[in-house]
Amino acid sequence: MTFKTLSQLLEMVAGLEKDLGLAEMLPLERDVMAIIGAICEAEGRDVKTEEIIAHPLMASVPRSSLHRALRSLQDRGAIQHPPGRKAGRYIIPG
């Protein structure tokens, strides 16, 4: 891979983040949104906290940081618990 290719990929990612409303989020929050969104889209179901923790993007993330990111995303309305659940599972509303 060349630096030109890397630059083009980074520009594409930045554009996608903007289109998805992720540009203003912290990097960890963007990663969590990507994980939840990918599972929701691919499998049409909610996502367990354990699945997020087990994802390769979360390999070096302390649990406390992940939980802070989840809380922040909930507070923004970017994610929520599915109807009838109060904890441990997440969906992207809408």
Domain residue extents for the chain: 26-90
pLDDT bucket at 86, cuts 50 / 70 / 90: confident
26-90 topology per CATH: Arc Repressor Mutant, subunit A (1.10.10)
Residue-wise pLDDT for 24-83, tens only, equals 999 999 999 999 999 999 999 999 999 999 999 999 999 999 999 999 999 999 999 999
Mean pLDDT of 1-23: 93
Nearest 10 degrees: CA dihedral of 44, 48, 52, 55?
A: -70
User: What's the pLDDT at 57?
Assistant: 96
What Rg, from alpha-carbon coordinates, does the chain have?
A: 14
Q: pTM here?
A: 0.89
The H-assigned helical ranges of 44-94 are: 49-54, 63-76
